[in-house]
């Protein structure tokens, strides 16, 4: 397997995961903002902060209104992290890797891209936007389910799994960072009053409500939510689970031994986080540090397998 092919598969998975994460995050935020009463200090600007595009947004817009924010996050091609840009990048990567995946994989991504491109006008109204997001989320989940049932567990599949889980862990940590606002001592009385609804929305953005209730079995509290999303080894979007999936795949790849200590250290660092003894400010710093670690891991993966001139058969000899 050529290094450039591995890189395309890795980025295809990251971009598709980013597409789905953006869709589910905006969908959950829409429902939350419409349901909360006036006076709870949450708005569209929080979404820009979670996605890490606040600076880029204010270079183009002055007001983080609903229309400006959703358009920027969904359809603005100048924003490389927008849903349409991510889906376009995923489509290009899969188009040039069609020989490595079942034919239906390309068809599903291409159809999803065509749907998104042909329905941008629907984003201007709330109902149309909600239906648009539902279809994108369903399309991403169909693709993931299809690949799980139709692709051999080769090195190709491993690079897809690594890309998906690295992107997923990063987004979960960003959504958890939103929790530092909900835990802050200076939060308003209104926010305290609706705190449970806000934490439910954090879980909803990761499709985690039912699994959380089955696991925790107590009323929803911020500390329990954060611990679950950080440390639960069985929930697919929990940070520890994502790290374990990445580790499992990397251990099956050639020339990966030097990454093992870093992966083990990263998992232990997550498990050692004590939410009850951590202030919101410290938690923010911890989560920022985690995101930096994920970026560092990405760079090491790229240096290990993507930037070197690997022989054609080297990656598949396992």
pTM of the shown model: 0.90
Name which of 187, 219, 215, 214 is nearest 200 in CA terms.
219
Domain boundaries along the sequence of the chain: 1-150, 153-308
Is the distance from CB of 230 to CB of 177 less than 8 angstroms? no
Quote the pLDDT of residue 318: 40
What is the per-residue pLDDT for 314?
41
- Cα(183)–Cα(52) distance, rounded to whole angstroms? 20
Please tell me the distance from the alpha carbon of residue 275 to that of residue 292, in angstroms, as a whole number.
19
Q: Are 246 and 263 in contact (CB under 8 A)?
A: yes
Query: Looking at residue 311, what is its pLDDT?
Result: 38
Closest CA to 235 of 270, 203, 268: 203
| Tokens 């990063």 belong to residue | 170
The C-alpha atoms of residue 91 and residue 109 are separated, in whole angstroms, by 6
Question: Which pLDDT score, from 0 to 100, does residue 32 have?
Answer: 79
pLDDT for res 220:
87
Residues with pLDDT less than 50, the chain: 309-318
- What was the pLDDT predicted at 19? 96
Can you give the pLDDT at residue 1? 53
Q: Kindly write down the DSSP assignment for every residue of 257-292, as one continuous string.
A: GGGHHHHHHHHHHHHT--GGG--HHHHHHHHHHHHH
């Amino acid at each position: 397997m050529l290094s450039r092919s591995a890189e395309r598969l890795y980025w295809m998975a990251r971009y598709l995961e980013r597409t789905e994460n953006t869709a589910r995050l905006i969908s959950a935020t829409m429902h939350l903002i419409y349901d909360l009463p006036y006076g709870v200090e949450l708005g569209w600007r929080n979404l820009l902060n979670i996605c890490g595009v606040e600076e880029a947004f204010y270079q183009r817009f002055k007001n983080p209104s609903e229309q400006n924010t959703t358009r920027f996050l969904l359809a603005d091609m100048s924003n490389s992290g927008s849903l349409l840009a991510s889906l376009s990048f995923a489509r290009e990567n899969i188009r040039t890797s069609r020989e490595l995946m079942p034919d239906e994989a390309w068809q599903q991504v291409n159809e999803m891209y065509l749907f998104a491109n042909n329905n941008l006008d629907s984003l201007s109204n709330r109902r149309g936007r909600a239906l648009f997001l539902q279809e994108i989320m369903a399309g991403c989940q169909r693709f993931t389910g299809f690949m799980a049932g139709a692709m051999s567990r080769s090195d190709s599949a491993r690079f897809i799994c690594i890309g998906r889980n690295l992107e997923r862990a990063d987004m979960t940590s960003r959504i958890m960072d939103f929790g530092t606002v909900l835990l802050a001592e200076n939060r308003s009385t209104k926010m305290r009053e609706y705190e449970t609804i806000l934490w439910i929305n954090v879980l909803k953005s990761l499709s985690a409500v039912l699994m959380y209730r089955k696991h925790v079995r107590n009323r929803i509290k911020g500390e329990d939510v954060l611990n679950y999303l950080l440390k639960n080894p069985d929930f697919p979007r929990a940070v520890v689970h994502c790290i374990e999936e990445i580790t499992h795949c990397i251990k099956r790849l050639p020339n990966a031994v030097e990454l093992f200590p870093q992966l083990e250290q990263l998992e232990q660092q997550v498990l050692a986080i004590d939410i009850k003894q951590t202030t919101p400010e410290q938690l923010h710093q911890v989560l920022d540090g985690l995101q930096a670690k994920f970026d560092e891991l990405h760079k090491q993966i790229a240096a290990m397998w993507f930037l070197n001139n690997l022989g054609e058969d080297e990656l598949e000899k396992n």
